[in-house]
Structure 1
């Protein structure tokens, strides 16, 4: 049986590991060909995608570098053709307060977590306009509402992602492109494990209505729905997927 994304091509940034890898695997299982931009190799992701019988392109890309992003877009077009889905997932985290955050650290986090979303979306926006069902997914975080201590730059950047999502959904609506963001709770990934320990994950799970750790599969399942034709009337939203951590 054909998947919901049969014949589609998706770009997943930060798809070499963590949530991005699982998103790439899930979208390929639904029938999409996958292009991954990551600062690291994405060979494990390649194996998962190709095991689902889909085409794969992986490239080492710094999403905050416009030239690298545009070169990646050219590679994708040559290897896979036009793109229907953009998943902006690449991000870094930093556990610091105002006093301990330098301006360079602040700018670097925003360059990857915000500028990268702008640059990647811009590089593929004509494809999205030409697609019969263009989709953009931006990775936000429940931390924007929770605002935990020592996450100043990260929370601030996610606020910018939410604003970008709302405004972009308006700008792209006349082409029937949907733009949505996801706000997961804490998920064990190579990025989060650099800053957080087991005690933090256990404590955080107890703050949720659902007393278990969130998995990358929880996030990937929602992404697959939002980029499908079934979600064609959902746009401009930040979808909390956090086990009931934020109740609003």
Structure 2
């Protein structure tokens, strides 16, 4: 088997489309078998992964449901073996400023974007402890620092995810598990296009040092590095991949 992730199994939540799909494809290209948890079918992701020669498993899972994610972890073990890499990518974006955001939308955003990574990390912790090179990678957002007003619940949740990343890194280093985040900028995905407009992308490019729209592969390459042995001494970090719009 070729590739720097050969012999490893990676779990990607929210891997049926967008950034998650590209992360699954990239990790497979680097040699990992892939399991995807998503509320939507992952048939297209399956094709991309199996085209690399890697094994693939997916299931319909709401990551905010503890029983669902625990059951999914057991099924992954049965299909692909123990997981070595967990990418917490599943997220919802429900745009609204404080005047208009509902408590229901606020809670749903936190349930998926914060409770989901917490529950998945708990569910796959036995696997990651066994691995000897366990990796948790949380997909967060550089909007935490730029804070555009219409995304009050989303940005607040990403801030909480940054905190979870830090404390899990401190907790799990004793087990040789690294925990890092990747803070993406505005990435052109179907979901981003649905929730914004072209002027929003133009504004993002304007404040970036790199003058082009960010694409999913700009995120997946960073994830692949953090999942590899090359990043074995990096933990508790939020790696900002936003074209220089925050320059942190």
- TM-score normalised to structure 1 length: 0.98
Partners of 1:94 and 1:151 within 8 A in 2 = yes
CA–CA separation in structure 2 for the residues paired with 1:130 and 1:72: 18
Matches of residues 1-248 of structure 1 in structure 2 within 5 Å? 2-248=2-248
Q: CA deviation at 1:168?
A: 0.2
Contact 1:92 1:191 in 2 (8 A): no
- The alignment partner of 2:195 has SS state of coil
Partners of 1:36 and 1:181 in 2: CA distance: 19
Check conservation: 1:15, 1:90, Cα contact below 8 A.
Answer: yes
**Contact (CA 8 Å) 2:189, 2:215: kept in 1 or not?**
no
**1:210 touches 1:243 (CA, 8 Å); kept in 2?**
yes
Distance 1:221 1:200 in 2: 24
Structure 1 residues 188-218: Cα deviation after superposition (integer angstroms, max 9, x where no partner): 1232122111111112111100110011001
Q: Distance in 1 between matches of 2:218 and 2:104?
A: 34
Deviates more, 1:184-193 or 1:101-110: 184-193
Looking at structure 2, the residues matched to 139 and 247 of structure 1 have their Cα atoms a distance apart, in angstroms, of 18
- Measured in 1, the distance between the counterparts of 2:81 and 2:135 equals 16
CA contact (8 A) 2:39 2:60 kept: yes
1:122 and 1:194 map into 2 onto residues whose CA distance is: 32
Name the Cα RMSD after superposition: 0.8
> Following the alignment from structure 1 to structure 2, what is the Cα–Cα distance between the partners of residues 70 and 166?
23
- TM-score, normalisation: structure 2: 0.98
**Structure 2: 5+ residue runs without aligned partners?**
none
